[in-house]
Amino acid sequence: MKCPYCDGEMQHGKLSGDGRSRVHFAQEGKKVSWSENLVGVGIVQTKRRFGKFEIDGDYCEKCKKIILDAEVGK
């Protein structure tokens, strides 16, 4: 996917969290190892922690933006 902000290539992956640890983004097909987790690889800055979740998304390393598809119930 091309970034709509800078036209650079985005990495497809998953945004995930479990309520106990920090929110992470991992590129599709890759898993963040224990040592990478320890030094902060893939960590997303958040103000709150959530329950367990996993959402597909695309990340632009240049712009530092993640684009997510969302279906919001009413």
7-58: pLDDT as tens digits: 999 999 988 777 776 677 777 777 777 687 667 666 665 545 557 777 889 9
pLDDT value, residue 30: 75
- Looking at residue 44, what is its pLDDT? 62
Question: Where does the pLDDT of residue 68 fall: very low under 50, low under 70, confident under 90, or very high at 90 and above?
Answer: confident
Q: What is the pLDDT at residue 29? A: 78
CA distance 14 to 17: 10
For the chain, domain boundaries? 11-68
Encode burial over 16-44: b for 16+ CB neighbours within 10 A, e otherwise.
bbeeeeebbbbeeeeebeeeeeeeeebee
